Structure 1
Amino acid sequence: MTISTCVQRYVAIKRGLGYKFADQEQMLQNYAAFADRHGDEHVSSARIVEWASLAPSVHRSREWLRVVRNFAISMHAEDDHNEIPPRDVFGRGKRPRPRPHIIAEADIAHIMEMALTLPPVASLTPYTYHYLIGLLATTGLRVSEAVGLLESDLTSDGLVIRETKFHKTRLVPIDRSTRNALGDYLALRRRIGGSDPHLFVLSTGEPPEHASVTRAFIKLARRLGLRGPQGERGPRLHDLRHSFAVRALERCGNDRAAINRHMLALSTYLGHACLSDTYWYLEATPVLIRQIAEATEAFGKGGAA
């Protein structure tokens, strides 16, 4: 039995247990192809480490090792000829939190406008990216959630986000302006978008992939000078989610009771399993720092902070 066949069986078991297992499946398939090319009949620790060393960064090497090591543990339970590599071959480093870029509303508008110039010209694709980026900015949705939306998920109460990261379905209310914008897009999409049930589709008639949306956003940000050349950090597509969370908090002002209510509502709106996950998305901005300073000054004068 080849390693690839073993991986297929392992992935099927994981899926049967309810895991989506998309990224992990891709890693395991890559490892299996590497092992099969070397003629491996059993899982080899040395081969796993050799393969994981090909990752573009130490962090990715650790991630590749973690995924394949779990597979190795499962295989070893069936046949002890399969080896389990050490856990810390690439160190125990914790991935640092990427510094988010809180994108100005004017810059988001420029990115949306620039999206209308994307190829192919005079097709649905540039409009899809234009409205998709706008929806991400105004709702803080994960890009996977947005590209997975069906037309039927747009209801009178808001957007139904189905089976998301934590296998839960939630309702995301949307502003009237967002609903109107989606209505404009749908009028065009229904004329030239084909029969695919997804809300957002490209000129091919198929929904965009997560990776293609990310690449398009980076390309647009570079054209506008918001990002430097390859290898330099700058605004990411995921920063739209950070920006949404921070702007929403800014609107609470100095009302501590409102902030407490807001954080719970924001956590639910973003689809987080616990409130601590929402704090990951918050970043100090001049507006928030000023509000903190004003609250501190009021407290120092004997007022309510």
Structure 2
Amino acid sequence: MSDIQYKGPLKEHLQNHVELKKAVGYKYDTNACHLKRFDQFTLEKYPDAIDLTKEIVLDWCSKKTYEAQANQSSRASIMRQFAKYMDSVGANAYILPKGYFSKGQQYTPYIYTTEELTKFFTETEKCKYCSECPYQHLIMPVFFRMIYMCGLRSSEARLLKLADVDLENGILIVHQSKKDNSRMIPMSKPLTERCRHYSDKVHQFSKVEDYYFPAFGGKPMTIGNVYKNFRKFLWGANISHGGRGKGPRVHDFRHTYAVHCLKKWTEQEKDLTAYLPVLKTYMGHDTFEETAYYLRMTADVFPNITLKLETQFPKVIPVLGGDVVETD
């Protein structure tokens, strides 16, 4: 059952829609919060509404002066799903046509070079003590290496508990990540050893339920703290940044991991039809298409191996327009 209580004229439909999504396996927490804002909107502006009319939908989905095109498209997608639910239970609802609002220009993931990674990780070692996050100077060198070397999403690393990091066997356990997928991730020996040194300094008296990368008060590191340090390390490594929303992003370490894996396997002439399912499982992808997306990206970033990819694996490389780009 959803923790959010809706109060507007469509509250029952909203509550049931969210509970159905959760019942079939979706976390749906973020979307439930978006729908709570819609609920407040209808309560204030359309308190007597019985149906989800076209007027209400278009009013809610109208572009705000401060938001990006992609944000409007995302809000419209959430509303489209809600309308489809209402329609499925016999309620009157206007369903936005798919693609009614343009997504705008798609973000192209930034793939860090080996030299850039070396410079970036060197900068993380210079991180200083901060009272707001007492272990920050110890966390950052491990945190960013773990994201890249294990292909993690930033949230997956931030929310790791001490019990999720098996230093004896060198394995991370990620619980209920995107689309509620859980998985076990082997770490390299160097990363495992670095984690052991980190744990000796930070977790001598910790409990298994404590966060592995703790902020002040035992809470997990915030997204803001990660991003602030990320920008500082980029600056120190002389890696150009286009401004918020333009990248490079923290999430691009995950993209870089996948591309570097495929590059290495291609150069070693591995059978990608056998290796792609391994990468899919390792990264926690829900579909094969999410993983295959990186084949084209690898060819684009490393044009010297394009011919080898397209010659040896012509049926594996997808023709993609860049829409399958993950967010955290």
With structure 2 as the length reference, what TM-score do the two structures score?
0.74
Distance change in 2, residues 1:73/1:287 (3 Å)? closer
Report if the CA contact (8 A) 2:241-2:247 is conserved.
Answer: yes
1:153·1:159 contact (CA, 8 Å) conserved in 2? yes
The unaligned stretches of length 5 or more in structure 1 are 298-305
Taking a change above 3 Å as real, the CA distance of residues 273 and 76 of structure 1, as seen in their structure-2 partners, is closer
User: Which residue matches 1:2?
Assistant: 8
Which letter does structure 2 place at the counterpart of 1:289?
P
Partner of residue 203 from structure 2, selected from 190, 196, 209: 190
In terms of mean alpha carbon deviation, does 54-63 or 188-197 score higher? 188-197
Shift of 1:217: 2.5
Whole-angstrom CA distance in 1 between matches of 2:71 and 2:133: 39
Name 1:290's counterpart in structure 2.
Answer: 304
Show the counterpart of 1:16.
23
CA distance in 2, matches of 1:164, 1:223: 31
Secondary structure in structure 1 of the residue aligned to 2:265:
coil
- Residue equivalent to 1:300: none
Coordinate RMSD, CA, aligned: 3.5
Give the equivalent residue in structure 1 for 2:178. 165
What are the residue-to-residue correspondences of 1:1-305 with 2, within 5 Å? 2-3=8-9, 5-6=11-12, 7-42=14-49, 43-55=52-64, 56-75=67-86, 80=91, 83-88=93-98, 90-91=100-101, 93=102, 97-115=106-124, 116-117=127-128, 119-120=130-131, 123-155=134-166, 156=169, 158-191=171-204, 196-210=209-223, 213-214=226-227, 216-218=229-231, 220-222=233-235, 224-228=237-241, 230=243, 233-252=246-265, 254-282=267-295, 283-284=297-298, 288-292=302-306
Deviation at 1:124, TM superposition (A): 0.9
In the alignment, the residues of structure 2 paired with residue 294 and residue 58 of structure 1 have an alpha-carbon distance, to the nearest angstrom, of 37
Alpha-carbon deviation of 1:148?
2.6
User: Structure 2: any 5+ residue segments left out of the alignment?
Assistant: 1-6, 312-328
Query: What is the letter of the counterpart of residue 86 of structure 1?
Result: L
Q: Which has the higher contact order (CA 8 A, sep 6+)?
A: 2
> For the residues of structure 1 that align with 2:29 and 2:309, how far apart are their CA atoms?
46
1:145 CA displacement: 2.0
Letter aligned with residue 263 of structure 1: L
Residues 235-268 of structure 1 show CA distances to partners (whole Å, capped at 9, x for unaligned) of 1111101111122223235443454443332222
Q: TM-score under structure 1 normalisation?
A: 0.79
Q: CA deviation at 1:176?
A: 0.8
Describe the shift of the 1:251–1:47 C-alpha distance in structure 2 as closer, same or farther (beyond 3 A): same
1:89 positional shift:
7.8
Maintained 8 Å contact 1:66/1:87: no
Q: CA-to-partner distance for each residue in 1:95-152, whole Å, 9 max, x for gaps? A: 6653221112343344344441474488212432332111001111122322232211
